[in-house]
Amino acid sequence: MKKTVLTDEQIISDLLPKKFGKWGMAWTGVLVVICLLGMFAYYRQLRYGLIVTSMRDYASWGIYISNFVFFVAISLVGSLITAVLRLTGVRWSTPLTRIAEIIAVSAITFGAIIIIVDMGRPERFYYLFLYGRLQSPIIWDVTVITTYFFISVLLLYIPLLPDMKILLAGKEKKGIYRFYSFLGSFWKGTHMQYRISKRAINILCITIVPVAFSIHTVTSWLFATTYRPGWDSSNFGAYFISGAFLVGAGAVSAAMYVFRRFYKLENYITPEHFDKMGKIVVMLGLLYLYFNVNEYLIPYFKMKKSEEAFLNGLFVGEFAPLFWSAIFGGMIIPMIILLFPRGRTPYPMFICGTMIVVGAWFKRYLIVTPTLLHPFLPMHNVPESYKHYFPSWEEWAIAFGSLAGALLVITIFVRIFPIIPIQETLTEHHQKEL
Amino acid sequence: MDTTSTSRKAFLSSIITTGLALAGCAPKKDPFELAAGEHAKASGEKVKLLSVDGEVIEVDKAFLRPVPEMPAVSNSEERRGIPGKKFVMVIDLSRCKNLRFCEKACNHAHHLHTGLNWLKVYPMDEAEHTAPYWEPTMCMHCDEPPCVKVCPVDATFKRQDGLVLIDSDRCIGCRFCMAACPYSARVFNWEKPDTLTAEEVCQPYSCETSVPQKVGTVGKCDFCPDMARKGELPHCVSACPNGVYFFGDLNEDSVTNGAETFRFSELIRDKAGYRLMDDLGTKPSVYYLPPVARNFPFEKGLENDNEKS
């Protein structure tokens, strides 16, 4: 493959954030509208109570909680791409670190927001800090998610400092430049500063790995600490983490394609990146498949009475179409496509990544709700609406509003900051030339 | 003479309680000042009352307003429990015919939102060739309560007398306890309870009466400790004409349904009492006597069942 020789000026001008084009404006507009719709739905929920949702005493957790699990899952990719790959000495992933990290930050932020939306008494949120009791997995979750959020923000911010200098170079301190200057004017690029920042990033990369494992393991414990069929599983932590890495890698694959295409980054996000990400996705898919086999087929082999109705509901019953779509569409088919070198080219990668993300969203729903609809004691003498769950328009609006919100944060970030680290690209470019 | 002295006492205590109630409630609801001055018209009929400083005063009857009921004990006392007690319930399945008087009495006493039940009667059938029976369930007041373990804010708690209660002023509505409870005993107030009057809504919440239920919080059977303090039986126990429910104290080793009283240990021994889903390790405080030598055929209960299973 022929590679064009890039000058420093060329790299910088390629990677500096660009104004929204026609499509950028339309995309942002659509996201804002969805967010506003979600906010209106939440206003209705605050006014009338959770009665506006379709959740009832049996399905007492619905798509808010599954959306939360989804957000936590997808945010794990920050630690995978930035920390795990960096610590293992992988160099090719440099252009992808910031994509992964902003996905992590915005997802974990909206995960926290959606959990407040799910509360019956959101105005008592601060009770968690006032009266928090350590034995509740919710308190563990609050602790690790907050920690993860701050580490992720730092991992986004510190590598951004050298780029801030480039952004500020020779510009008047007006408008957005005032903001850049506020964030990073102290960065002079001295040898000492580079040394400190390198050390800081190393420390953060090491700490984020156990914290990332904790956020999703603890999230799985919100379910696994109960007795319910489908949740009462010692496999749950590993099952959740493997699924999280898969959906995160899928999201990065899809995002790589979008940024490459719309920001003309063909020289920086190369087919080689897609090829390598594709291989990672296949590996993570196999891992997730392994845990799925453990999670569903082993209970199926025994078919305990308490789990029978639940498992049948997933395999052949009410939830079967969704279940098999999520298993095949969100895991097996993308994996098969990505086994072929041609599958690991940009556009198929985008399709596979999207399939994985959509499949993962529904998979989280299938983890949360069917279990609740199969209690130990029969559902009896309750209105018909208690026995099934289909989200109300308010729930859909809020769930999609939060997803749109997460995408909006990413979109705005890309508008004001370079999505590919400029300074690191320059450094690597110079090293290659030498 | 006797009646006047009690009404005096009631009036005096009502003044005190009003003062307390005002602290926790909207000040607009002062039953004396505002209501008397602005909304009520004097009826001309006077009532003699004893004022706080010991003088007999005459007040127009129209100015009298019911005073919100105050919890008998403080919140910290409600969280501690009644000293020396360990409450248990025994449910005799051979006597139940799904009359559901228990359910109605419970719903009425706790002003539950229409359609919500803390006490549920299930038609149970263990397997294909076994005989069906009616099984009332309520909160099992477990000694290892899974709901209490998971509550992040201490809104649901275990007391020294064995009860598991809910503080609706503390509950954040996360519904983790509902997911954790294997007995589906907990119900959620998805909307404002429709059965509460304006005064009841304003009344301070008591963990022992579980009244008033609040939107966005969890509710469940409380074993009526307010009745126990008065030396009375829980509402479901006294409402059941068939004597299905026996309530009592494990430390005294006695349970009663109002008409009959048994030694708890003997009753459990003689009738082979057991606990529901005991294998989960929750250690419930509710014991069941198996449905042998039944008083009614199972079919008798079907006429009261809303749902044809």
pLDDT by 10s per residue, chain A, length 434:
345 567 888 888 888 888 888 999 999 999 999 999 999 999 999 999 999 999 999 999 999 999 999 999 999 987 888 888 888 888 888 889 999 999 999 999 999 999 999 999 999 999 999 999 999 999 999 999 999 999 999 999 999 999 998 988 877 778 888 899 899 889 998 999 999 999 999 999 999 999 999 999 999 999 999 999 999 999 999 999 999 999 999 999 999 999 999 888 998 999 999 999 999 999 999 999 999 999 999 999 999 988 999 999 999 999 999 999 999 999 999 999 999 999 999 999 999 999 999 999 999 999 999 999 999 999 998 888 899 999 999 999 999 999 999 999 999 999 999 999 999 888 888 887 76
The angle at the Cα of A241, spanning A236 to A243, to the nearest 5 degrees, equals: 95
On whether the CB atoms of residues A331 and A284 are closer than 8 A, the answer is no
Question: So what's the pLDDT on residue B15?
Answer: 47
What is the Cα–Cα distance from A66 to A76, expressed in whole angstroms?
A: 16
Q: Across the interface, do B184 and A128 touch by the CB < 8 Å criterion? A: no
The tokens of A308 are what? 């029978």
Q: How far is CA A380 from CA A57, A387, B112, B123, B305, in A?
A: 12, 9, 18, 8, 9
> Of chain A residues 168-207, which have a CB less than 8 A from chain B?
none
Quick one: how far is CA A267 from the chain centroid? 26
Distance from CA of B60 to the nearest CA of A (A): 40
Instruction: Quote the percentage of chain B above a pLDDT of 90.
Output: 69
Question: Which SS3 state, helix, strand or coil, does residue A144 take?
Answer: helix
User: Is there a contact between B173 and A381 if contact means CB atoms under 8 Å apart?
Assistant: no
Torsion, Cα of B262, B263, B267, B270 (10° steps): -120
The amino acid at residue B266 is E
Q: Helices (DSSP H) in chain B: which residue ranges?
A: 2-24, 33-34, 75-80, 101-109, 146-150, 176-180, 198-202, 225-229, 235-239, 264-270
In terms of C-beta distances under 8 Å and separation of at least 24 residues, what long-range contacts does B193-199 make, across chains too? B193/B111, B193/B112, B193/B113, B194/B113, B194/B114, B195/B111, B195/B112, B195/B113, B195/B114, B196/B111, B199/B29, B199/B66, B199/B68
Burial class (CB in 10 A: 0-12, 13-18, 19+), B43: exposed
Phi–psi pair at A227, nearest 5 degrees: -90, -5
On the question of pLDDT at B48 being above 90, the answer is no
Three-state DSSP class for A89?
coil
| Res B10: pLDDT | 52
Please give, rounded to a whole number of angstroms, the shortest distance from the CA of B244 to a CA of chain A: 20
**CB-based burial of residue A357 (10 Å sphere; 0-12 exposed, 13-18 middle, 19+ buried)?**
buried
Q: Which chain A residues contact residue B153 at CB under 8 A?
A: 124, 127-128, 130-133
Taking each helix axis as running N to C, give the angle between helix A191-224 and helix A236-262, from 0 to 180 degrees, rounded to the nearest 10. Answer: 130
ipTM: 0.91
Within 8 A of A377 by CB-CB distance, chain B residues are 120, 122, 137, 183-184
- B212 cis-preceded (ω within 30 degrees of 0): yes
Q: Who contacts A104 (Cβ-Cβ below 8 Å, separation ≥6)?
A: A74, A75, A76, A77, A78, A79, A152, A156, A248
Q: Which residue of B has its CA nearest to A369?
A: B179
Angstrom distance (rounded) from CA A144 to CA A237: 15
Q: How many residues can be counted in chain A?
A: 434
A228 within 8 A of A312, measured Cβ to Cβ: no
**What is residue B202's predicted lDDT score, i.e. its pLDDT?**
85
Count of beta carbons in the 10 Å neighbourhood of residue A157: 14
Please give, rounded to a whole number of angstroms, the shortest distance from the CA of B55 to a CA of chain A. Answer: 45
Q: Using the beta-carbon criterion (under 8 Å), do A223 and B180 form an inter-chain contact?
A: no
CA distance B141 to B163: 5
CA distances from residue A394 to A46, A53, B189 in whole angstroms, order as listed: 11, 6, 18
Chain B CB contacts of A56 below 8 Å: 188, 190
Query: B235: closest CA among B121, B118, B126, B97?
Result: B118
Q: Where are the alpha helices (DSSP H) in A16-172?
A: 22-48, 63-75, 77-78, 85-87, 94-118, 127-130, 137-157, 161-168
From the list A49, A131, A137, the residue facing B190 with the nearest CB is A49
Q: Does A46 touch chain B (CB under 8 A)?
A: no
List the 103-132 stretch of A: residues with Cβ below 8 A of B.
118-121, 124-125, 127-128, 130-132
**Secondary structure letter of residue A81 according to DSSP:** I
pLDDT tens-digit series, residues B174-212: 999 999 999 999 999 999 999 888 888 888 899 999 999
Please tell me the predicted confidence (pLDDT) of residue A136: 95
Contacts of A50 in chain B (CB under 8 A): 173, 188, 190-191, 216
Interface test with chain A among B124, B144, B153, B278, by most A beta carbons within 10 Å: B153
Quickly count: other Cβ atoms within 10 Å of residue A431's Cβ.
9
Q: Which two tokens stand for residue B16?
A: 């005190």
* Contact predicate B172/B181, CB 8 Å: no
CATH superfamily of A8-371+384-433: Formate dehydrogenase/DMSO reductase domain (1.20.1630.10)
pLDDT for residue B261: 97
> What letter would DSSP give residue B254?
E
State residue A85's pLDDT score: 86
- pLDDT category at B55 given cuts 50, 70, 90 is confident
Mean pLDDT value of segment B256-269: 96
CA distance A54 to A75: 27
- The tally of CA atoms less than 13 A away on the side-chain side of residue A165 is 14
Indicate whether B25 pLDDT > 70: no
Max intra-chain CA distance, chain B: 75
Please determine, for residue B23, whether its predicted confidence score (pLDDT) is greater than 60: no
Give how far B166 is from chain A: nearest CA, Å.
14
**pLDDT tens digits for B80-139?**
999 999 999 999 999 999 999 999 999 999 999 998 999 999 999 988 899 999 999 999
CATH topology of domain B75-304: Alpha-Beta Plaits (3.30.70)
**Distance of CA B16 to CAs A169, A354, A389, B22, B52, Å?**
73, 66, 49, 10, 9
* For chain A, domain boundaries: 8-371+384-433
- What residues in B contact A118, CB-CB < 8 Å? 174-175
Q: Provide Rg for chain B, Cα atoms.
A: 22
Please tell me the predicted confidence (pLDDT) of residue B85.
96
- pLDDT band for position B19 (50/70/90)? very low
Q: Compare CB distances from A119 to B170, B173, B183 and report the shortest one's residue.
A: B173
Between positions 316 and 375 of A, the ones with CB within 8 A of B are: 372, 375
DSSP B68: P
A54 neighbourhood in chain B, CB within 8 Å: none
Distance from CA of A363 to the nearest CA of B (A): 19
Region B232-236 average pLDDT: 96
The Cα–Cα gap between B28 and B38 comes to 12
Q: What is the mean pLDDT of chain B?
A: 87
Contacts of B115 in chain A (CB under 8 A): 382-383
**What gap in Å lies between CA A141 and CA A396, rounded to an integer?**
25
Top pLDDT among A95 and B239 is at B239
Smallest CA–CA distance from B119 into chain A, residue? A381
Residues of chain B with CATH 3.30.70.20: 75-304
